[in-house]
A and B are shown apart, each in its own frame.
Chain A
Amino acid sequence: MIELHRVSKVYDAGPQKFPALTDVSFRVDKGEYVVVTGATGAGKTTLLRLLYRDEVPSEGEVEVLGQSLAGLRRRQVQTLRRSIGVVFQDAKLLPGRTVYENIAFVLRVTGAPRREITARAFEALRAVGLSSRAQAYPAHLSQGEAQRAALARAIVRRQPLLVADEPTGKLDDAMAAEVLGIIQDIWTGGTTVILATHQARLAAALHRRTLVLERGRLVKDEG
């Protein structure tokens, strides 16, 4: 499903170079739930961005969903991204649209047949327990609800891979547990999950395979 082979990523800022990842290698099989943890700045977000090709590695090779991401053309990147659901710490909902419209937006812009849009959007909303808030605007949602809406958007295309970057970072414990429960359900449904968090306690509580990053290096792969 996912394979990184000796991947390094260095950001150039003029004459200075900032290594974000150094010589990282690992493999994730289909249906796995993997937690990536490490302190802020350890390279978690860079690692995830490499998976949906928002970044390209400076060295090494990244393979996602059975295809190497090196030298992908624009259309191939678009096809890859349609198979990956992404959620962030910030829900990134579109403020001028209702929850339903935010979910349907993804289907519309990726050319889903019109007759399927409503059914699939509500299916995703049901999966995150947000059907009753379909007509609410993001400004009227709690942070937990907003994150659940973002999760619904991430799975509405029934993507086989879910990448979650600090999805509970802004939530209190109760809301975080709720969101993690939904992610657990999504994983149980057969979706491969990669979840990044800086909260070591939370990572430990999940009892899943955990990749620990320190200053861009993979120092532990356990579970």
Chain B
Amino acid sequence: MFGFLLSEALRDLRRAGRVAVSAVMLITLSLGAAGAFWLLSMNLGRAVSEWRGHARIVVYLKREPPASEIAALVQRVQALPDVGSVRYVGKAEALAGLKRILGKDADVADQLPSNPLPASMEITPAGAATTPQGARILIERLAAVPEVEEVEGGLEWIERLADWQRLIAAIGLGVGAVLALAAILTVTTATTLVLHARRPETEIMRLVGAPELAIRLPLLLQGMIQGLLGALLALAALRIAHHFAAPWLEPLTNLTIGLPRLEFLTPPGMLTLLAAGAGLGALGGWLTRGRRGAW
């Protein structure tokens, strides 16, 4: 019976004509907008977690300690609350690092009368210090260590990036929800027209005692098909946009937020988008109310 009801749904879809096409387009728009914001938010999220994983606090020392005192100093700092790991960087290592960065201009460093770079410690925050508030407290603690000249670092900018990510996700959700509502209403309108057109069938079905499911399932299926078509079109549009836009945007994102590659939706993400389309369409179809008989 399901095959027959599916063929009835397809017949109804042809009957709905332009209204059904409008419904499909609105679902495409709705899911396309939501999907685009989702993509943006997902990639920003990747940048945020990348940066969170590499967040460092650099502690510059007043003077380079003698080799015999380094281990004790590192141990003392390591013992502070919310310190994940500590790496000591001596003056020589700092200079070597600078030369690496300068590349072919490394000779400039050799012209210096003495090594001006201070010894330092790179601290990886842990626990509460991975939040901006916790990081501030850790910086205060580190600044109180007698050997410390200056502390640099913080997580505020990463959190600002995370705030942007959340804002984009919320805007995407909002825009998607408004368009989704319009899509549901359009599917409902298309289904109502179909319901009107198929009144003779519905009358016969009620008259011969067809189960309610046989009467309503074609409407539900019809909505689902519209939703799935809309979601597939949205997915295709997003894929094409990503294919052409990513090579242009990647140098910029690499430079600004350290994200060398803009990823597309994962397979579960794509399935979610398709399921959302089918769900929207089905809801629109289900919400359609027709005349009931004496029961």
Q: Are A109 and B205 in contact (CB under 8 A)?
A: yes
| Cβ-neighbour of B209 out of A73, A82, A105 (below 8 A) | A82
Q: Are A108 and B295 in contact (CB under 8 A)?
A: no
Q: Which B residues are CB-close (under 8 A) to A158?
A: none
Question: Cβ of B200 < 8 Å from any Cβ of A?
Answer: yes
Q: How far is the CA of A57 from the CA of B186 in the complex (A)?
A: 39
Segment at the A interface, from B44-52, B54-62, B116-124, B210-218:
B210-218
Q: Which B residues are CB-close (under 8 A) to A77?
A: 209, 293-295
Interface residues of A, Cβ cutoff 8 Å to B: 52-56, 72-75, 77-83, 86, 92, 94-96, 105-106, 108-111, 157
Question: Cβ of B204 < 8 Å from any Cβ of A?
Answer: yes
Chain B nearest CB: distance from A211 CB in Å? 22
| Cβ-neighbour of B200 out of A81, A86, A92, A157 (below 8 A) | A92
Chain B nearest CB: distance from A212 CB in Å? 26
- A79 to chain B: closest residue by CB: B209
Contacts A74-B212, A78-B209, A105-B204 given; indicate if A54 touches B294 (C-beta within 8 A): yes
Question: Cβ of B72 < 8 Å from any Cβ of A?
Answer: no
Q: Which B residues are CB-close (under 8 A) to A78?
A: 209-212
Question: Cβ of B263 < 8 Å from any Cβ of A?
Answer: no
Q: How far is the CA of A86 from the CA of B209 in the complex (A)?
A: 11
Contacts A55-B294, A74-B295 given; indicate if A111 touches B209 (C-beta within 8 A): no
Interface residues of B, Cβ cutoff 8 Å to A: 1, 4, 11, 200-201, 203-212, 214-215, 293-295
Among A56, A81, A86, find the residue whose CB has the most chain B CB atoms closer than 10 A. A81
Q: Are B294 and A109 in contact (CB under 8 A)?
A: no
Q: How far is the CA of A53 from the CA of B293 in the complex (A)?
A: 9
| Cβ-neighbour of A110 out of B209, B294, B295 (below 8 A) | B209
Chain B nearest CB: distance from A150 CB in Å? 10
Q: Can you list the 7 inter-chain pairs with the closest CB atoms, starting with the nearest?
A: A81-B209, A82-B209, A109-B210, A78-B209, A74-B295, A108-B4, A77-B295
Secondary structure class of chain A's binding surface, majority of residues: loop
Q: How far is the CA of A143 from the CA of B295 in the complex (A)?
A: 32
Secondary structure class of chain B's binding surface, majority of residues: helix
- A-B contacts, 24 of them at CB < 8 A, read A54-B293, A54-B294, A72-B295, A74-B212, A75-B211, A77-B209, A77-B294, A78-B211, A79-B209, A81-B207, A81-B209, A83-B209, A92-B203, A94-B201, A95-B200, A96-B11, A106-B208, A108-B1, A109-B4, A109-B210, A109-B214, A110-B208, A110-B214, A157-B208
Q: How far is the CA of A95 from the CA of B208 in the complex (A)?
A: 18
Q: How far is the CA of A95 from the CA of B198 in the complex (A)?
A: 11
Chain B nearest CB: distance from A174 CB in Å? 28
Chain B nearest CB: distance from A185 CB in Å? 21
Q: Which A residues are CB-close (under 8 A) to B211?
A: 75, 78, 110-111
Q: Which B residues are CB-close (under 8 A) to A109?
A: 1, 4, 204-205, 208, 210, 214-215
| Cβ-neighbour of B294 out of A56, A75, A94 (below 8 A) | A56
Q: Which B residues are CB-close (under 8 A) to A108?
A: 1, 4
Contacts A74-B212, A78-B209 given; indicate if A106 touches B204 (C-beta within 8 A): yes
- A104 to chain B: closest residue by CB: B4
Q: Which A residues are CB-close (under 8 A) to B212?
A: 74, 78
Chain A nearest CB: distance from B201 CB in Å? 6
Q: Which B residues are CB-close (under 8 A) to A111?
A: 1, 211, 214
Chain A nearest CB: distance from B90 CB in Å? 84
Q: How far is the CA of A108 from the CA of B212 in the complex (A)?
A: 14
Q: How far is the CA of A136 from the CA of B117 in the complex (A)?
A: 97
Q: Which B residues are CB-close (under 8 A) to A86?
A: 207
- A97 to chain B: closest residue by CB: B201
- A108 to chain B: closest residue by CB: B4
Q: Other CB < 8 Å A-B pairs besides A78-B209, A79-B209, 5 of them?
A: A86-B207, A94-B201, A95-B200, A109-B215, A111-B1
Q: Are A53 and B208 in contact (CB under 8 A)?
A: no
Chain B nearest CB: distance from A51 CB in Å? 12
Chain A nearest CB: distance from B194 CB in Å? 13
Q: How far is the CA of A106 from the CA of B1 in the complex (A)?
A: 12
Q: Which A residues are CB-close (under 8 A) to B210?
A: 78, 109-110
- B198 to chain A: closest residue by CB: A94
Q: Are B204 and A94 in contact (CB under 8 A)?
A: yes
Q: Which A residues are CB-close (under 8 A) to B4?
A: 108-109
- A157 to chain B: closest residue by CB: B208
